[in-house]
Amino acid sequence: MQKADKGKTYYNQDAATVLKHVQSQTEGLSNDEAQKRLEQNGRNALAEGKRKTKLQRFLDQFKDFMIIVLLVAALISGIVAREWADAAIILAVVLINAIMGVIQESKAEEAIDALKEMATPEAHVRRNGSVQTISSEDLVVGDIVRLEAGDVVPADMRLLETASLKIEESALTGESVPVEKDAGTIDETDVALGDRTNMAFMNSNVTYGRATGVVVGTGMQTQVGQIAGMLNSAEETTTPLQDNLNSLGKTLTILILVIAAIMFVVGFLRGDASWIDMLLVSISLAVAAIPEGLPAIVTIILALGTQKMAKRNALVRKLPAVETLGSTDIIASDKTGTLTMNQMTVEKVYTHGQLQAAKAEIAPENLTLRIMTMANDTQIQEDGKLVGDPTETALVQYGFDHDFDVRDAVAAEPRVAELPFDSDRKLMSTVHQLKDGRFFVAVKGAPDQLLKRVTKVEVNGQVQTMTSDQANDILDVNNNLAKDALRVLAMAYKILEHKPTEITSENLENDLIFAGLVGMIDPERPEAKAAVEKAKSAGIRPIMITGDHQVTAEAIAGRLGIIEPGDDAAVITGAQLDEMDDQTFDQNVEKYSVYARVSPEHKVRIVKAWQSKQKVVAMTGDGVNDAPALKSADIGVGMGITGTEVSKGASDMVLADDNFATIVVAVEEGRKVFANIQKSIQYLLSANLGEVLTLFLMTLMGWDILKPVQLLWINLVTDTFPAIALGVEPTEPGIMDRKPRGRNSNFFSGGVASSVLYQGILEGVLTLGVYLWGINFPLHSGAEAVHADALTMAYATLGLIQLFHAFNVKSIHQSLFTIHPFANKAFNWAILASFVLLGVTIAVPGFNSLFHVTHLALSQWSAVLVAGIAMLVIVEIVKFVQRRMGKA
């Protein structure tokens, strides 16, 4: 016995052909045959993807080029230069960064585990001619399985017999309401997953009726198994932040190594020092130039961002996801449960010849209201919770919202008989005994089917024979409601003197009196429309991707503002997408904003088509079917409440409130995080450029140079604290009015590169200026003392000038005095702490020998202070000129 073909289209084969293909029969398999197939084809379980150990994840953190160079520098500092303190600090920074990365990514492989846990623990299977209850993992192709309301479908099945069967498949297909199933053969080919009404798929839920079916796919051969396979094989994408950091690290380290090599060669050829001394000088330059704290600072800024986002219901699973949303060009959003409530709701009621909104008042004795709630199998629990088919619970909820309690109605007029819903009749009828001894027959169902059985209508309290004009008016109302993507049910009734001896459709569902129509929809979230509008104003394009029908998807998208109402050219179905090759689709992808009736493979294809245009794509979703696209997108956003564990496991970020508006909040936070990282990078690189320039020119001029421990202390104290504090700067005004940066942007865009260049040069020039001032205007005699004082002044200036400069980079172009310079309390404390830690190395006895510095007089401190203030003033002047020239 071979495995059932994964791509076999069993839906367009009759039951006998399917049974023959899987070598089974309606009595089921024997236990021996089932065991044989189980041994041959394996258990009905999902295969695990290849996993990384924690050690592998830890080692992955050291693949960054800048980290490797830092490790080499630490090694040389310790072994060659004997600067073990320098080496220890560098190693500590690198290790902290690696540990934080492992912690954040420790749950990256949860998606497949969640898929496995979703499998139903038991199945009712017919073997040896009798029904047995077995573990679902023991099912094999050819087993005959019985399904009832409340069951989870244990494998992919071709239905053989059905009785009023409805299956909820939203987690697999995106369909917002349960699908009516029957065992009939579908004559069409290439039928979308959601339209295969004679199939039941693994992990979907039976909400109504019963059925038997033959297993045609188990484990990885099921639709869910195909999704698991896609998750296993999906490539991990790097975020723009990771790309930028990697690019920045490589560029900086290569540039620094080139400069260090030039210094080594120039110094060695001049004969001023031995090659060992020049090697130590080059190492000092690398220590000064490489922003060894940058990875840790970016990690800390991202971690602080995750805390802020968590308070606003956006839970980040991977740190780079904080920033990625800020660069998003496209938000590809699942409709059901994300843009909509995932809860059927009555929206329109047509009664007494009038169409009214659901919020309008309706009398308790209104027959439309009574019928919709009494011809209804919804279970009302003690706490008021409604359990049952979503369409029927929506009708009962409508009654509750209008002070009509169906429990009281049924108690007064109890149900004495019923005719359950049938997919052929598309009707449901219940019989209730009235207080006067007569019987009230309540019928609800599809309007086209119900109107065939209606002969009368009530007008102004009088029952009349229905005219053709009245019937046409009702059909017009029905058609208009359907065009608005409402699911329409019709209500009718009649009163019998005696209860029929046989409860059949012929006895109950004829000669009916029309009562009204009810239009329902899975409504859009109240805040979703404003969120879509805000996303558009931020230059982000919302895309709706759903398994629902085209009419429903188009209507919801129009109501939300994703497309203009009636713009069907912006809507494409999965079937139409299948007809396009990749090249044609890539050329036309920008035309479409709504994708209806799509499969998981379509979603991944849509995401990749946008990515091929260098767009940063965020994908939101809550179902199993969303998981591959969530993993393929630049950032996957799962739903925390309605989302499956699979979708959450495959996501980079989870919305705790399932609120589309929270995504826009996260975008704003992501943009702020990127802007603050830019500020930190501008601060760090301009400071390090100043250090490199100072050290380089000192070396070329044959002057005394700053010691590695001095440079490392400046980097650790005056770089780290202010850089982290810049990471929590408040959001600059107008940040959501800017266009997305996109995939090709980097940390140097928006004027950062030029600012780093001229500000770094300025820092170096001012520092060397103070050094020369100390040499030319000494307070002590003796060459050694003069040079010691000048070097100490240069050390103090290089540190203090960076603290003044930190105020400059609070905004790249805006004036310091227009952005509330002291609003960030963390920044204020960071500057104060850095100043104290820098000052104690000079002013407090005992530190002088450790840091190779001397005590400075007041006049010498004044020169240092003037340089710091000059840095602040000059940068403000440059920013003023840039704004006047329109370059800001």
Residues designated as active site: 334
Compute the distance between CA of residue 888 and CA of residue 877 in angstroms, rounded to an integer.
Answer: 13
Residue 887, strand partner residues: none
Helices and strands: H and E segment counts in the chain: 33, 26
Q: Determine the residue type at 723.
A: A
Using CB atoms within 10 Å of the CB of residue 865, give its burial: 0 to 12 exposed, 13 to 18 middle, 19+ buried: middle
The residue to which tokens 């530190």 are assigned: 847
166 neighbors 147 (Cβ within 8 angstroms)? no
129 neighbors 387 (Cβ within 8 angstroms)? no
- DSSP codes of every residue in 372-419: HHHS---EE-TTS-EES-HHHHHHHHHHHHTT--HHHHHHHS-EEEEE
Contacts of residue 863, Cβ cutoff 8 Å, sequence gap at least 6: 770, 773, 774, 793, 797
Compute the distance between CA of residue 759 and CA of residue 287 in angstroms, rounded to an integer.
Answer: 20
Q: Determine the residue type at 2.
A: Q
Tell me the CA end-to-end span of the chain in Å, nearest whole number.
72
Compute the distance between CA of residue 423 and CA of residue 421 in angstroms, rounded to an integer.
Answer: 7
User: What is the DSSP code (8-state) at residue 847?
Assistant: S
Q: What is the 3-state secondary structure (H, E, C) of 337-384?
A: HHHECCCCEEEEEEECCEEEECCCCCCCCCHHHHHHHHCCCCEECCCC
The angle at the Cα of 234, spanning 230 to 236, to the nearest 5 degrees, equals 155
- DSSP codes of every residue in 192-217: -GGG-TTEE-TT-EEEEEEEEEEEEE
- Relative to beta strand 330-334, strand 541-545 is parallel
Residue 146 — φ and ψ, nearest 5°? -100, 135
CA 255 to chain centre: 37
Buried b (16+ CB within 10 A) or exposed e, 712-746: bbbbbbbbbbbbbbbbbbeebeebbeeebbbbeeb
637 neighbors 618 (Cβ within 8 angstroms)? yes
Report residue 426 as tokens: 């598309």
- DSSP codes of every residue in 611-648: HTTT--EEEEE-SGGGHHHHHHSSEEEEESSS--HHHH
Compute the distance between CA of residue 337 and CA of residue 344 in angstroms, rounded to an integer.
Answer: 11
- DSSP codes of every residue in 47-84: PPPP---HHHHHHHTT-SHHHHHHHHHHHHHHHTS--H
User: What is the DSSP code (8-state) at residue 190?
Assistant: S
Compute the distance between CA of residue 73 and CA of residue 89 in angstroms, rounded to an integer.
Answer: 12
Compute the distance between CA of residue 668 and CA of residue 298 in angstroms, rounded to an integer.
Answer: 18
The residue to which tokens 């290849």 are assigned: 50
183 neighbors 110 (Cβ within 8 angstroms)? no
Q: Determine the residue type at 802.
A: Q
Q: E strands within 448-522?
A: 454-459, 462-465, 487-496, 512-521
Quick check: helix, strand or coil at residue 488?
strand
Compute the distance between CA of residue 337 and CA of residue 524 in angstroms, rounded to an integer.
Answer: 9
327 neighbors 740 (Cβ within 8 angstroms)? yes
Residue 214 — φ and ψ, nearest 5°? -105, 135
